[in-house]
Chain A
Amino acid sequence: MRRTLEKTGATVLQWLEHTGRMFNLLLLVSFELLQPPYRLYPVVRQMYFIGARSLTLIVVSGLTIGMVLGLQFYNILQRFGSVDLLGAGVSLSVIRELGPVMTALMVVGRAGSSITAELGIMRITEQIDAMDCMAISPSKYLIGPKLLAGLISVPLLTMVFDFVALFGGYFVGVVMFGVAEGSYVNGMIDTVEWSDVRIGLEKSLIFGLLVTLICCAQGFYMHLTKAGSQGAEGVSSVTTDAVVLSSIAVLYSDFLIEALF
């Protein structure tokens, strides 16, 4: 009994410590990024990796999600004889909800996992310690560009996702099922307001920051976590943790934002 309590307490303390370290890292990096020298090229490189190379995945998944939504909404709306609302339904759910969340999850899977693995391997091969010895701040040099790139790339990817998903819904509704083009497009324009687009944008900004922060912190601090203290095996388990944690963070913060605003 006592041992169980002690174990639970230790785990909780460890998680709290980890969360604290993560936000500490965020503050440290934001502070360091404000100080010269400013280097833009590393940010572009990370944007290429996180954003541009995810573009194919985002386009394919956006198109699929849009088409599935079109099919689903068409089937449901047809029963009530209000197929005219197809455009409104697809566009609202994509722009407010599915676009930001799906994009963030895709970025977690594609870029987030490799960020953690990269930083984790640098940590176990002592490259990060070497940087420290050379008086190069590893947090500024390694994490700063990644955080900035995530913050910029995820919203941009979300916008591409939204656009492609709307087109997918259009394709299913108008081209396949013959819903009137005017009612699809006008339903979309009439229902969606600037506040919806803005919430989608704000969500994707928050998700972009959360995902890159969690993935960076997991890799960067892997030697301080229990799972990460065993070399190559540690890298793999830390990467798994990063993907799981950031997915949960995205889904839960989505709920929080939707409930609060």
Chain B
Amino acid sequence: MKLHKARKILYPVLVAACILFSLFGSSTIIGFFLGEFGEGFEIMLATSLPGLMRTFMLVIWLFILVIPITNTLESTKTDQWDILHSSNVRSRDILFGTYLGKLPIYGLISLVLSSVLVATFVHAYNVSILGQLLMYTVIILFALTTIWMANVIATAIQARIGQSPRGDDISKALSWAMVPIMFIPSMGAIYWSSSLVALMGLELSMILPSTWIADVLTWISVTSSSLPPSSIVNIQTYWFQFSPLLNLALICMFCVAVYYFGFRSADNLYTLSSGLGAQKVITVGSENMAIRGVRRLFGAKFGVIMVTSFKDYTRKLQNVAKISYAVFLSLMIPLLLAFGPFATIVNDPIFIPVMTCLSIGMMLGIFGGIVFGGIGLLDSQDQLWILKSSPNGVSKFIAARVLSYIMLGIIIAIIPGVFAGILLQFDVATIVITVLYVYSIIISGIFIGVGITAFNPSYEDTSSGAFVVNTIATIFITMIALIVGLIPGILMAITQGVLGPALTIAAIPGPIIGLVILFAGTIKLNISEVV
């Protein structure tokens, strides 16, 4: 609230700080780090920078495109459109207004990110001030176009989904799926493009606007640099499939087309009817074996609360998307270990299993806390009302939630654990140890996340202060719980050289710390007054 009141001073200060960082800070920092690698590296950098820049530019372009879309999908609010459309406002003005609203923050993010790119060029080619200004101008114009494109895409998706409880769920699920959906094919294209060069006569990435902009930036930087003319010609000959002027023309055409079609489609965008099944009426069928088993296992009364918890959590697409995202990221870790910088020591019998356990455990522990606690516990204050108005309702509910999360956690621990074991060729005992250690950290994360959220409920409002505080607290405490367990575990591993007992010792403190927080949170939620 205080920050909101001071926004007229804070925002200009933030803008000034970003401009200063872009002009002086990033070039100093990048220059310092790149200079540390020596002259040989700098020559290699100057030669390969145009190629590297295409990849960097693609990542930055996708980032600027995806983040506004995911943020918009996080809170679909199409009911405001009815208010605007019922007034004398044109659709294109609404679209342009929402675009302008996004510029202050995403514009600054673009400026800071682009400064890293420009600083690298400045260091490699000694680009003149005029050249730097030209580069910033091109990047900012391209970023503005990309933000407009993100705005149009987000509006189209929102219109297709519409505002309904199911639409909101689909929208949130999409916001989590957006990053892998856009990044994986793009990075795959880059990875495979080198082998397609021979087949197609030019790189696949040449069809991407990010490549055109990267090449234009390279062209501006080398022509306004202190490089000798022969070097400039060499760089252009080696790297540029298209002439710089053609790249510039392509960018201009791309920008004009994006704005033109965005404005032209405004009327259609806002009148798109829901088509992603948001209005579909879902009828539940008979219960599957697993649900019937849970019902039987936990008895007639508590079994119903457990089953309700399962159904409520797993029927939400957004929860399935979040869990899939966490599992997807945890599968990346063994891949990195197998094919990344550690690949050369992949046969080490202690280092690789320990690294695998730690990295997967750390990632899933934090995800467990956020996915199960922060945004999966209570939908609204009204739900808390229902629980509080029955005897011991809160305690029964939390117990059922935690038990159902613990059961779901088994699958989340087994998939990456077994995948890592097979990929990294662990023996069966090591696979079991890995899965158990990862599972213990997931349980710690669940206890900590649920406990903290019970202490300070944030409901489904991911933009609330409570959610931010809970997320930071969950990450922080999960990390501390992990470290507290690791110290005796590592000491045992070093002194006795045994993996299993060491990881067992390391696995114990986390759930105990989590359990204390869980109990404290449940008591607080029980006695707290709902206003």
Genuine A/B complex: no
